[in-house]
Amino acid sequence: MEARTPRPPDLARCALFLDLDGTLAPIAPSPDAARVPGATVALLRRLVCATGGALAVVSGRSIEVIDRLLQPLRLPVAGLHGAQWRGPGSQAWELPVDRDRAARLLARLRDIAAGQAGIYVEDKDISFAIHYRHAPREEARIRAEVAAAAADFASDYTLQFGKMVAEVKPRGVDKGSAVERFMAVAPFASRLPVMAGDDLTDEAAFAVVARLGGIAIKIGDGDTSAPWQLPDPDALARWLDDLSARGPSGPPRHE
C-alpha cells in the first residue's frame, strides 16, 4: 500500500484518539499474546505531555486489559467500543446490560466454537468476540452462525465484523460515540481531533473526526473513509514521534 501521510498538526492544539490492537500494538496470533512495545508506551507518555493530557485510547478491549497493556500509564480510555469510558478526571461510565442475557449469548458463541481448532472465544464481560485468524477457511460458517446467534439478541446487541473476528457488542455504543463523549470535556474540547485505527470498528470514529474537521488515519490496508493511511503500527509510531519532537507549529527540534 502507498502511505498517505497528513500534514503534521500542532500537538498543543490536538486531541489524540488511538486504537490499540493493530495501531499501538502489532496484531498478535491471539488476543492474549498482544503486547505494546515499551518504546510506544514511552512515546505515549511524551504525547500526553505535548497535548496537555488530551490523549485517549479507544479500543475494543476492556479498560482492565488496556490498563494492563499500557502499564504504568493510566490514560483516559474508551473500552469495549465505547461501552466503557473513563475520562481525564477518572470519572467512569459503563453501559448497563442484562447479565443473564449476556451469559446466554456467551454460551451460544462458545457452542459455535466448541471443538473447532483455531477458533477462540474472547469473553470481555459485556462484549464477546470469536476469533478465527487460525481457521480462515471457516470464515463463512463462523460469520453465518454468529450472525444467527446475534439476531436472537438483537434488542440488546449488535454484530460487528473485523479482521478475522466476529464481535457481538452492546447496542447503542461505538467508537464514534466514545470520541464525541471525550470531545465534550476538557482537555479534549475545542481541539483538533486526530484518530488512528486499523479496523472496521474504527470507521465510526473516523466519521465523527471528519465531521469535526479533524484528521483520520487508517493503519494498514483495506477500504476506509479515512483520507490518510499508514502501513503499520511502526509507521504510526514514527509519525507520532516526529510530532512530539516538533516545537509548536515548527520543524523538528534537534537538541
Domain ranges for the chain: 11-95+173-245, 99-170
- 150: Cβ contacts below 8 Å, ≥ 6 apart: 105, 157, 158, 159, 168
Q: Which residues are tagged catalytic? A: 19
Burial 238-255 (b: 16+ CB within 10 A, else e): ebbbebbebeeeeeeeee
Q: For residue 83, which of 158, 23, 195, 170 has the smallest C-alpha distance?
A: 170
What CATH class does 99-170 carry? Answer: alpha beta
Residue 250: what pLDDT?
Answer: 42
What pLDDT score was predicted for residue 248?
Answer: 56
- Residue segments in the chain with a per-residue pLDDT below the cut of 50: 249-255
* CATH number of the structural domain 11-95+173-245: 3.40.50.1000
Three cell numbers written together for 240? 507520532
In angstroms, the CA 17 to CA 81 distance is 13
Q: Which amino acid is at 143?
A: R
Place of cell 476469533: 131
Nearest to 109 by CA among 131, 93, 85: 131
Residue type, 195: M
Distances (CA, A) of 51 to 87, 112, 114, 122, 166: 15, 45, 46, 33, 34
Return d(Cα 174, Cα 245) in angstroms, integer.
Answer: 32
